[in-house]
Amino acid sequence: MKSEHALLSIKGLEITYPSQDGNDKVIAVKNLNLDLMAGEIGCLLGSSGCGKSTVLRAICGFEPLKSGEIYLRNKLVSSPSMTLPPGERRIGMVFQDFALFPHLNALENVSFGLQHLSSQQRTTVAMDWLSKVSLSDKAKAYPHELSGGQQQRVSLARAMAPEPDVILLDEPFSSLDIELRERLAFEMRDILKANHISALLVTHDQTEAFAIADKVGVMTNGKILQWDAPYDLYHKPATRYVADFIGRGVFVKGTVLADNRVKIEIGEIPLDQGHNIEIGKEIDVLIRADDIQHDDHSPMQAEVVAKTFRGADFLYTLKLQSGVEVLALVPSHHNHEVGEKIGITLALDHVVTF
């Protein structure tokens, strides 16, 4: 069975909190399943309150389970009848605010979890991890003397130094500038991959999730709707909620044709194998901003009703003849005015429908 090889395996997890009036229970997580393989970086992605942090706390051993089981390296660490104490789990944590000890310098922060070693070994190991995050020259610096990105790398080095089974990261970029986030997410991914460390991250930011994770689980109401590679989440969303949540898209009406194709207002698209929809049926077809291309020579016209400059491209909102509005990403040297009509073609090779 696949999960036998998983480093972290969560089966049928349910966690409840007492509600404010003390009577009913808030179900924070329900029937959640997840397998994280050795060396894999996973991410739970969902909006505020969907239960992401509760899952992390349960993995750490801070939440009792209502039902289900959590295994680390095939060892049962949590079930409704037992919770292995947090200190006895081999888990590293990186928090939203980095949670560095302000009165300890970078080296001392990283040494903190290495109390089982001699003082000389501690320094050697901690210096080694500081060098792995490219901060050897900041060993003596205190947290307030480091930038946000540097503090985050110290925090990562501190979590990695005791060589835990898995590192959990709780919104690790949310206190940083938006421009920094994506770069640091890539940087963190490189460090984790170079050191073969498995990690589970939670975030509400899709760009962050896609930049860092091998597998992303889209969560809502305490459930994972789909656990997949970012590419598959984007191109093969399993539910309408996932399709709406990931990437910017619009659903337009389509009609199923005889030869396994679907006709929409601006063209025809093949239906994916496995869709057995009766001919003539009306379906909703997902059209993303990168599915529509601008082509000055195309006879098919759409009116620009809004536009946002994004540097390399414009995100145009285009009104089709029927009045339906779709989005289109267009290289920014094609600078058209609102109200202008522009030529478009459909660049979609398969239908996403539900």
Ligand X SMILES: Nc1ncnc2c1ncn2[C@@H]1O[C@H](COP(=O)(O)OP(=O)(O)OP(=O)(O)O)[C@@H](O)[C@H]1O
- Least separation, in Å, of the C-beta of 218 and ligand X? 12
Whether the Cβ atoms of residue 98 and residue 171 lie closer than 8 Å to each other: no
Amino acid occupying residue 354:
F
> Which residues in 266-325 contact ligand X (CB under 6 A)?
none
Phi then psi for residue 247, to 5 deg, are: 70, 165
Task: Print the binding letters for residues 334-353 with ligand X: x by CB under 6 A, - otherwise.
Answer: --------------------
Q: Which is nearer to ligand X, 46 or 61 (CB)?
A: 46
- Least separation, in Å, of the C-beta of 186 and ligand X? 22
Task: Print the binding letters for residues 197-226 with ligand X: x by CB under 6 A, - otherwise.
Answer: -------x----------------------
Q: Which two tokens stand for residue 171?
A: 């919104």
Q: Is 33 in the site for ligand X (CB under 6 A)?
A: no
Q: Which is nearer to ligand X, 54 or 317 (CB)?
A: 54
Q: Is 17 in the site for ligand X (CB under 6 A)?
A: yes
Q: Which is nearer to ligand X, 46 or 254 (CB)?
A: 46
Whether the Cβ atoms of residue 107 and residue 126 lie closer than 8 Å to each other: yes
For residue 137, the tally of other CB atoms under 10 A from its CB is 10
Q: Which is nearer to ligand X, 99 or 141 (CB)?
A: 99
> Which residues in 35-54 contact ligand X (CB under 6 A)?
46, 48-54
Q: Where are the alpha helices (DSSP H) in 7-147?
A: 52-60, 106-111, 119-132
Q: Is 168 in the site for ligand X (CB under 6 A)?
A: no
CA of 259: how far to CAs of 175, 279, 346, in Å?
52, 9, 19
**Strands 67-72 and 6-18: what pairing?**
antiparallel
Query: Cα(269)–Cα(91) distance, rounded to whole angstroms?
Result: 48
- Least separation, in Å, of the C-beta of 61 and ligand X? 15
Q: Which is nearer to ligand X, 5 or 25 (CB)?
A: 25
Q: Is 26 in the site for ligand X (CB under 6 A)?
A: yes
- Least separation, in Å, of the C-beta of 172 and ligand X? 13
- Least separation, in Å, of the C-beta of 348 and ligand X? 33
State the virtual CA torsion across 239, 242, 244, 246 in degrees, nearest 10: -150
Tell how far CA 276 is from the center of its chain.
31
Whether the Cβ atoms of residue 96 and residue 170 lie closer than 8 Å to each other: yes
- Least separation, in Å, of the C-beta of 285 and ligand X? 31
Q: Is 28 in the site for ligand X (CB under 6 A)?
A: yes
Beta strand ranges found along 100-222 (DSSP E)? 166-170, 198-203, 215-220
Q: Which residues bind ligand X (CB under 6 A)?
A: 17, 26, 28, 46, 48-54, 204
